[in-house]
Amino acid sequence: MLFLVACGDKPGKPPPAEPGPSNAPIQGSLTVHSRLWEDVGDPSQLVGIYVLLGDGSRFRQPLGQDGVARFVDPDIQGPQDVTLLAVSTEKTFADTYLALEQPEVWLQQYTKEDTGGETGQATLKGRITGRTSVVQDVFVASADQQGHGNSTRAATDGSFEIDISGSGVMPVHLFAMEYVHSTRRFGLKSNITLQAGQTLDDVEIALVRAEDQFQQVSVENFEPYGTEAFVTMDYKLGTMYLFRSMATGAPPLQLPSMSLTPPFDLLQMVTTVTVGSDGAAGVTSASVTVLTEGGSSPVVTIPPPLQLTSIPLGTMEAPAVARTEGFTLTWNVAPTAQVVHAYLNAQSRDHQLVWRLTAPSHVTSFTPFELPAELTPVTRLPPGLASLSMWAKNNGADRAYADLFNQYESPVQQGGTWSLSRQGYVRLVE
């Protein structure tokens, strides 16, 4: 049985141009867009959502039904701390964003979709040769991102037929893979050119390469996280995911691979290394991705751990202890971080307070402030057991904190990213 997948981006006209992110500072006005109601659970329990500047003592207003709050006042100048406060019958959710600098921000971004113009369709028909099994996958990947295909299941004799939508000339690559006794074999036919409306017959993919080699992955600076690493290596052709190799153990690690001489040098490898330790002070972990091509051996450098310096952390069974009075989060993180997140979940006898924090890496502390009593029945962190999770992320070398608040998400980068985390429990006492 064969399985075929066609890949590529939808072609056509680009979506209508949107206003670009403003580089102007905040001077007398701030517009906040949010869809926080999507994050708060049962909407029937929701009492209201409010937007606070600072602690809300001077500037606050309900979030409009259109998901917009507009503040206009000559005293609103420079970077602003913004908190969305969602109050329900059982929970108060405070969502704080520190040091926002744009005069218009989207706190929950949209995914920008290509609305594309007219497209046509082309068809590929062919056969896999050199087969030793009836279990094969076949992938069609656009060579120039102008094609957008689909998936189909081919016959047991290796024949296949697949449609690809797009416009104009559409060069594609065709990749085949079979499994034989836990070993994979591969074929690749590159730069097949076809046009919308065309049917191309007798396309042959020969299985000529085997997973009979090993790819070394070196990991540097992992010692603060323990002695072992979990490594995944995703093979991609353009935007199409092909397959994955995995290994666990003490670095360096050897992962099953194949020779990536032409034409297989078209493949890219996205290697992800995850390290971590679980102990009396909670969990400390890191995950790093790198992108390599042409068979070069990945070298992955792990950033220093995210350090929480203001309060101790423990496990659920043996939590650390901290006072509610003067409770502050203070942290240290690599300066190349794009953003720091914290998620504090404190449960009292009758009400739950969840506080989510988003901050740029140059901000290294936050003190939960007293919430307006007119808006929520819980105004401060209650005594009791609280869980705390913190993350620091770098989403790519060219990404900035401000990019997180544009209307549309930035494209996901395939490599050069990392994430650090710190998780544990603390018992809050009066």
Which residue intervals of 308-375 are DSSP H helices? Answer: none
State CA 216 to chain mean position distance: 26
> What does the pLDDT look like over 139-152, one tens digit per residue?
888 777 666 666 67
| Residue listed under structure tokens 């449609």 | 163
Burial of 311 (0-12, 13-18, 19+ CB in 10 A): middle
Residue range 17-44: mean pLDDT, rounded: 79
Least confident residue range of 89-98, 108-117, 148-157, 354-363: 108-117
What pLDDT was estimated at residue 14? 34
> What does the pLDDT look like over 28-37, one tens digit per residue?
999 999 999 8
> What does the pLDDT look like over 187-207, one tens digit per residue?
999 999 888 889 999 999 999
Q: Where are the beta strands (DSSP E) in 24-158?
A: 27-33, 46-53, 59-62, 68-77, 80-88, 91-100, 104-106, 120-129, 136-142, 147-149, 151-154
Stated pTM of the model: 0.86
Q: Give me the residues paired with residue 176 across strands.
A: 138, 187
> What does the pLDDT look like over 226-264, one tens digit per residue?
999 999 999 998 878 899 999 999 999 999 999 999 999
SS3 for 387-422 is EEEEEEEECCCCCCHHHHHCCECCCCCCCCEEEEEE
The number of beta carbons lying within 10 Å of the beta carbon of residue 84 is: 23
What pLDDT was estimated at residue 113? 63
For residue 385, pLDDT beyond 50:
yes
Q: Are strands 229-237 and 268-279 parallel, antiparallel or unpaired?
A: antiparallel
